[in-house]
Structure 1
Amino acid sequence: MEIETMTMQLIVNSGDARSRAMEAIALAKKGEIGAAREKLEESRKFLTQAHQFQTDLIQEEADGNIKSVSLLTAHSQDHLMNAITVSDMAGEFVDLYEMIFHKKGAD
């Protein structure tokens, strides 16, 4: 696979992961905790795919096939880091919303 294709796949999968994580927060905010957890799982699957493309890029560089880092490659890393952060935080938000809705039900 070409370097540019791997880089774009890293961006696409990272973006999909971030989007699913944000959807999870929105669902949890409405009290739809089960659906939110499903979105978190989808987010993690996209992150796994993104990580694989990142690993492929690192391997290409280690093999000497990448001589310099392009702005697009750096951009793809930004997307991945943002997706990881949002996904991690979304898990925390879902947990918090679950506690809030559970507590409201107990009142």
Structure 2
Amino acid sequence: MSQEQLEAIMGLIVNAGNAKSDAMEAIQAAKKGDFDEADQKLASAEKALVEAHHSQTQLLTAEANGEALTITLLTIHSQDHLMTSMTFNDLAKEVIDIYRRLDQE
């Protein structure tokens, strides 16, 4: 595995992890009724997901250009981390919407 591929994989893991953490913090803020903080954390999660997608695109582009990507457990973990974070972020938005409705009642 090249250094560039390893850096892209680590970028996926770090940014996906940050996105999931921010989404969890957004839920906790909404639970306390702090919807401004929840919105800020969701925005931060979205930015982290964009960065993770950039890393993924880098890997996909390299492979499409004929570079062999060594598939390791680390590679699989990075993709799993991204997909889990994307799903968690979507769910966080729904949970926060529920907290908003409860707060309005």
**Off by >6 Å, runs of 4+ in structure 1:** none
1:47 to 46, 49, 53: 49
- Segments of 5+ residues of structure 1 without an aligned counterpart are none
3-state DSSP of counterpart to 1:2: helix
Aligned residue pairs total 103
- Give the aligned partner of residue 68 of structure 2: 66
Deviation track 1:34-65 (CA, whole Å, cap 9, x = no partner) reads 11011000000000000010000001111121
What RMSD in Å do the two structures reach over aligned CA positions? 1.0
3-state DSSP of counterpart to 2:79: helix
- How many percent of aligned residue pairs carry the same amino acid? 46
Offset at residue 68 of structure 1 (A): 3.4
What is the rounded CA distance, in whole Å, between the counterparts of 2:33 and 2:15 in structure 1? 27
Q: Residue type matched to 1:97 in 2?
A: Y
What is the rounded CA distance, in whole Å, between the counterparts of 1:95 and 1:69 in structure 2? 39
Deviation track 1:66-105 (CA, whole Å, cap 9, x = no partner) reads 24322111110000001001100001111110000111xx
Instruction: Give the TM-score of the pair, scaled to structure 1.
Output: 0.92
What is the rounded CA distance, in whole Å, between the counterparts of 1:62 and 1:17 in structure 2? 27
After TM superposition, the structure 1 stretch with the greater mean CA deviation from structure 2, 62-71 or 89-98, is 62-71
Give matches, 1:32-43, under 5 Å.
32-43=34-45
Offset at residue 33 of structure 1 (A): 0.9
Instruction: Give the TM-score of the pair, scaled to structure 2.
Output: 0.94
